Structure 1
Amino acid sequence: MCDILWELSKKFIMEILSALTVLDVRSLLLGIAVFLVVLWFLRRPRNLPPGPWSWPILGNLPQLTWFGGELHENISKLTARYGNVMRINLPGVCMVVLHGNDTVKEAFSRQQLSERPPAYVTQVVAPGTGFFLPSDGKWTELRRLSMTVLRKLGVGKSAFEQNIVTEADILIEEFKRHGGQAFDPKHALGNAVSNIICTVVFGRRFQYTDPAFEQLLKVVDVLVSQSGAGDMFEISPVLNKLAMLPGVRTYVPSLRTYVANVNNFYGHINLLMKEHSKEKSADHHEDLIDVFLSERKIKEQQGVENAALQPENLKHIVGDLFAAGSETTATTLRWGMLYMMAHPQIQARVQKELDDVTGRNRLPRIADKSELPYTEAVLCEIQRVGTIVPLGVAHATTEDTAIAGYNIPKGTIIIPNIWHNHFDPLVWEEPEKFRPERFLDGDGKFRPREELMPFGSGRRSCLGEHLARMELFVFFTYLLHHFTIKKPDHVPAVSFKGTNGVVWGPLNFDICASVRE
């Protein structure tokens, strides 16, 4: 009996000690957690912009992604509670998202917001800097160089128009090849726009069947369409450190795919640049690569070390022009084909205006733009409803600053919600509707709207804006002058659903391009 009581007593005592041990461990962990929270709160900068409550480690990622909807739309909805300047926390990253035309323009006009945020993965895979990577102040020199090239080529002026017209003629023949039958215009539009970039970068265009050109378009398309998942690994120091651990890529398919795509993209850019330097044809014109290498040689002869003109930066400049310059314009044209197919009465009005100005015996030119106000209004409305970069291009602060009275620490990532600005019902009446009349005054003349900012705003706005505007006008007017874009009979309804990669583009769709008499 005593032995039984002893065993029971011993068991009871052990259970009490075990409970106390667990309690002590829990108390210790709780104390450490409270200490860290208090320390973080005390060190946290004061007067930050407001924002939603964040989850530990994950930040606001659950609220913004787990409940459906697009990221830019979900963030836009939060303005009703937090206002136009909002703090969003992602894993290891604090971002400030700007809403409203005035807020974005005022902020991005300032030098303190002119840097780009880190791109951790790309810097490991392909060191260097370009237009979309952090440059430690070198961006001004790179931008100056690129603007010099564009001016020499006559971009934005009639001198460069013939290059686009030549490509537009070839695009027309590509459309005609389908004989009015249903086809997806994505490939043909991508070919045409990319060849314009080839003219700028390599001083020549490629035949659509050229293997090197086909491979370039393929790697660009893959990078653009599959890069959405890589953004978080690029900007988050926490996720980046995890991504760099041995074996992580094996178990994270999206990261493995992204790294492979970046490798393939810059590998092919390097290959084309080597081919460019080997031999130039008799009809070769000075291009961006030529000017870059020439300026670098001049600096070397002068004994001047220029950090911006390093060889590793050239591949990023070339890559940025292809990944951004070609895909943005081609995607805008795809949205244009989709909306013309969905709104035949608007398409017919554009065609009538073109016929009234140019007749049926000649094609539109840039010089005709002032006499085509409705056509220009339609192009603007396409850029508004088809906002191809909904959250703009990220900026980063170079020093502690303030926006709208809120303190913004150095290194903060700043994002403009362009989609919100283009769909704000306080600015655009019935913003979901396609209404080109928004860009016409009472006399039917074209009326630009400063609230439309498809090319960004401020010191780091798109340097290829003039080129893109020329391309959009020539390609769009040529296509509608030659064809009527119709919905194929097998398509039940036109869908305006989009997909998010590097750009916001429509889902793949077919059209019928009927030749006009």
Structure 2
Amino acid sequence: MEILSALTVLDVRSLLLGIAVFLVVLRFLRRPRNLPPGPWGWPFLGNLPQLTWYGGELHENISKLTARYGDVVSINLAGIPVVVLHGHHTVKEAFSRQQLSDRPPAYTTEMVARGKGFLASSGENWVELRRFSMTVLRKLGVGKSAFEQNIVTEAEIFIEEVKRHGGKAYDPKHALGNAVSNIISMVVFGKRFQYTDPAFKRLLQVLNDVFVQAGAGSVFEFSPVFNKLTMLPYLRTYVASLKNFYGHINQLLKEHSKEKTANHHEDLVDIFLSERKIKEQQGVENAALRPENLQHIVADLFGAGSETTATTLQWGMLYMMAYPEIQTRVQKELDDVTGRNRLPRIADKPDLPYTEAVLCEIQRIGTITPLALPHRSTEDTIIAGYNIPKGTTIMCNIWHNHYDPLVWEEPEKFRPERFLDGDGKFRPREEFMPFGSGRRMCLGEHLAKMELFVFFTYLMHHFTIKKPDHVPAVSFAVVKNSSVRSLQNFDICAVARE
């Protein structure tokens, strides 16, 4: 009996081993040929455990794979086959193609709020939404020199808020987030909000929650499986944040129609509703002007146009605090160009090469969106000699490109000189891509550059940022596994300059 029992156990083990071998062989045979190389993953979870759960950030762990697999790497994120691109030449060539310009479905957001904005849409729908959004932004002067005054007005209010603390230690995150968001609010709603406004304060908090809880890989959003696992605490929290965010957006849209006065300036919501009414009267259907899309367009502008810029400026404050000699050099250059009797303007930028180099280095070393938003292939194609099947999710590891030691010497060090030539003039770098690359580059790039320049130079003109006495050392700790590289809360002392 014992021999029979042992043989039975061996038969069961052999059967299980045979099934496992069969599944491996079947997977290999069914796998399309000449796909980009990558590591083997776990059943169901793919490479998610080794890339996110065993230490390190997702973008850093994927970057390490390039040493073995090269610049084009295949990974699996909980059932989602993903190709991650590294190297600026590879990224620019790939994302210039129309067939790589779609987005994968954002399952969780679509479950919470119907419609699409310009960030998540694809195909003709994206073309129409982007065309509408860009037309409106141009009409409202965004990115043009005349719009500078809107930014200056908000920057001046922010400076007064900083002055109110009298050089004592405080956390600038809320005031900075409110100031930058107010510029978008003027575009969208034709009004700004007081820093003490509880509704707007809550909107900015839930927006931050969405970015933090989405995670760098956005597994919940883009997985047709994970978004249904509502028993997971993380997913419940993320869905709750999305509902709160869109709830606040829709409440502001409702209030918008009640608050118009004789002094009301035309804004994006006005133009959207007016254009929609004209199209309805003409009997013309426009994909961009569907009613449910308005909440997403507004949400996209707040998400892409405020959180990232405000976070970049926080990185700027922290680095000026950590590198006082660089801060002093920026202040000297500003004083030499503008003097102490007037504030810097956008027109001064060509005469401020070191200041511009510092801003670029802040964006490089901060790399606020390390993996950016994913793309999806609309047809079979080839990248760097590898076959990319239709429907593949494609990501760009911007963090890798900004920290590649073959491109940037000692990339972990803060060196603005990387963006200066031998004569001290500003030197653009093609490897530098904080706003992405190709057909789906950031819609608000020009606005963001204006905001960063104005707010940063105003801060440097008015204050010297110093480390509070109670802080033992400047920390660059970030919020872990966030879709935006947000810094942990920190205090500054903004000491007024004479």
Q: TM-score range by the shorter chain?
A: over 0.9
* Counterpart for residue 39 of structure 1: 26
Q: 1:490 maps to which residue?
A: 470
In the alignment, structure 1 residue 257 sits paired with structure 2 residue 244: no
Q: Does 1:503 align with 2:484?
A: yes
Call closer, same or farther: CA 1:132–1:373 in 2, change over 3 Å.
same
| Partner secondary structure for residue 427 of structure 2 | coil
* 1:87 equivalent in structure 2: 74
**Cα distance in structure 1, aligned partners of 2:243 and 2:217:** 13
- Structure 1 residue 43 displacement after superposition: 2.0
Q: Residue 121 of structure 1 aligns with which residue? A: 108
Q: How many residues align?
A: 497
- 1:188 is matched with 175
Q: Deviations over 1:416-456 (max 9, x none)?
A: 11011111111111111111111111111111111110000
- On the 8 A contact 1:366/1:470 being kept in 2, the answer is yes
1:342 to 311, 322, 326: 322
Corresponding letter in the other structure for 1:115: D
Q: d(CA) in 2 for partners of 1:30 and 1:344?
A: 63
2:88 matched residue in structure 1:
101
Aligned to 2:405: 425
**Structure 2 counterpart of 1:430, which letter?**
E
- Aligned identity (percent) is 80
Distance 2:283 2:103 in 1: 29
Q: Distance in 1 between matches of 2:124 and 2:380?
A: 16
Matched-pair contact (CA < 8 Å) for 2:420–2:426: yes
SS of equivalent residue, structure 1 residue 316? helix
1:272 to 243, 252, 276: 252
Q: What are the within-5 Å matches in structure 2 for residues 368-517 of structure 1?
A: 368-499=348-479, 500-517=481-498
1:367 to partner: Cα distance:
0.9
Query: Within the alignment, does 1:202 sit opposite 2:189 as a pair?
Result: yes
Q: 1:229·1:254 contact (CA, 8 Å) conserved in 2?
A: no
Q: Find out whether 1:361 has 2:348 as its counterpart.
A: no
Q: Conserved in 2, the CA contact under 8 Å of 1:220 and 1:323?
A: yes
1:374–1:446 contact (8 Å) kept in structure 2: yes
What is the distance in 2 between the residues matched to 1:58 and 1:157?
Answer: 47
Q: Could you tell me which residue of structure 1 aligns to residue 44 of structure 2? A: 57
Offset at residue 30 of structure 1 (A):
4.5
- Partner residue in 1 for 2:331: 351
Structure 1 equivalent of residue 55 of structure 2: 68
One-letter code aligned to 2:214 = S
| Alignment of 1:326 onto 2:309 | no
Is the 2:115–2:293 contact (alpha carbons within 8 Å) kept by the matching residues of 1? yes
For residues 19 and 118 of structure 1, what CA distance do their matches in structure 2 show?
51
Supply the distance in 2 between the matched residues of 1:181 and 1:441 (Cα, whole angstroms).
38
Tell me the secondary structure at the aligned position of residue 89 of structure 1: strand
TM-score of the aligned structures, taking structure 1 as reference length: 0.92
CA distance in 2 between partners of 1:52 and 1:46 (Å): 16
Paired residue type of 1:458: G
The Cα shift of 1:89 comes to 1.1
Question: What's the offset of the Cα at 1:306?
Answer: 1.9
AA aligned to 2:484 is V
Residue number in structure 2 paired with 1:130: 117
- How far apart, in 1, do the equivalents of 2:140 and 2:187 lie? 7
In the TM superposition, residue 226 of structure 1 has moved relative to its aligned partner by 2.7
Aligned residue identity for 1:95: V
2:218 aligned with 1:237, yes or no? no
Q: Within 2, Cα distance between the matches of 1:386 and 1:62?
A: 25
* Structure having the higher Rg: 1
CA contact (8 A) 2:218 2:483 kept: no
Cα offset, 1:27, TM superposition: 5.0
- More displaced stretch, 355-364 vs 275-284: 275-284
The one-letter code of the counterpart of 1:415 is M
1:308 CA displacement: 2.6
SS in 2 for 1:505: coil
TM-score after normalising by structure 2: 0.96
Matched-pair contact (CA < 8 Å) for 2:58–2:216: no
2:273 maps to which residue? Answer: 293
Q: Distance in 2 between matches of 1:41 and 1:80?
A: 24
Counterpart AA for 1:505 = S
CA contact (8 A) 1:59 1:90 kept: yes
In structure 1, the residue corresponding to 2:423 is in which secondary structure? coil
Rounded Cα–Cα distance in structure 1 between residues aligned with 2:351 and 2:436: 27
Q: 1:300 to 1:21 in 2, by over 3 A?
A: farther
1:307 deviates by: 2.3
In 1: Cα distance, 2:147 partner to 2:92 partner: 30
Is the CA contact (8 Å cut-off) linking 1:84 and 1:100 kept in structure 2?
A: yes
Taking the aligned partners of 1:515 and 1:281, their CA distance within structure 2 comes to 38
**C-alpha displacement of 1:134:** 3.9
User: Among 150, 155, 165, which residue is 1:178 paired with?
Assistant: 165
Residues 117, 235 of structure 1: 8 Å contact kept: yes
- How far has the Cα of 1:23 moved from its partner? 5.5
- Mapped contact 1:87–1:95 kept (Cα < 8 A): yes
Asked if 2 retains the 8 angstrom alpha-carbon contact of 1:331 and 1:388, the reply is yes
Once the two structures are overlaid, the 10-residue window that deviates more, 284-293 or 313-322, is: 284-293
CA deviations over 1:463-508 (Å, ceiling 9, x no partner): 0001000100000000110000001111111112222423102211
Displacement after TM superposition at 1:63 (Å): 2.1
Maintained 8 Å contact 1:230/1:254? no
Instruction: Tell me how far apart the structure 2 counterparts of residues 377 and 109 of structure 1 sit (CA, whole Å).
Output: 27
The corresponding residue for 2:203 is: 216
How far did residue 288 of structure 1 move? 1.5
Deviation at 1:20, TM superposition (A): 6.1
* Structure 2 unmatched runs, 5+: none
Shift of 1:212: 2.5
Q: Indicate the residue corresponding to 1:4 in structure 2.
A: none
Cα deviation, residue 509, structure 1:
0.9
Query: How far 1:324 sits from its partner (Å)?
Result: 2.1
Distance 1:223 1:133, change over 3 A: same
Contact 2:216 2:483 in 1 (8 A): no
Q: How far apart are the structure 1 equivalents of 2:200 and 2:243?
A: 18
Contact 1:230–1:258 (8 Å) recurs in 2: no
Pairwise CA distance, 1:221: 2.2
Where 2:292 maps in the other structure, the secondary structure is helix
Structure 1: state its 5+ residue gaps.
1-11
Bigger Cα displacement from structure 2, 254-263 vs 200-209: 200-209
8 Å CA contact 2:215–2:483 kept in 1: the answer is yes
Asked if the contact 1:225/1:502 (under 8 Å) is kept, the reply is: yes
The corresponding residue for 2:214 is 227
Structure 2 match to 1:6: none
> Using the alignment, how far apart are the partners of 2:151 and 2:216 within structure 1?
34
Look up the SS of the partner of 2:119 in the other structure: coil
Pairwise CA distance, 1:325 = 1.3
- Pick aligned residue for 2:285 from 269, 289, 305: 305
Aligned mates of 1:377, 1:48 — CA distance in 2 = 39
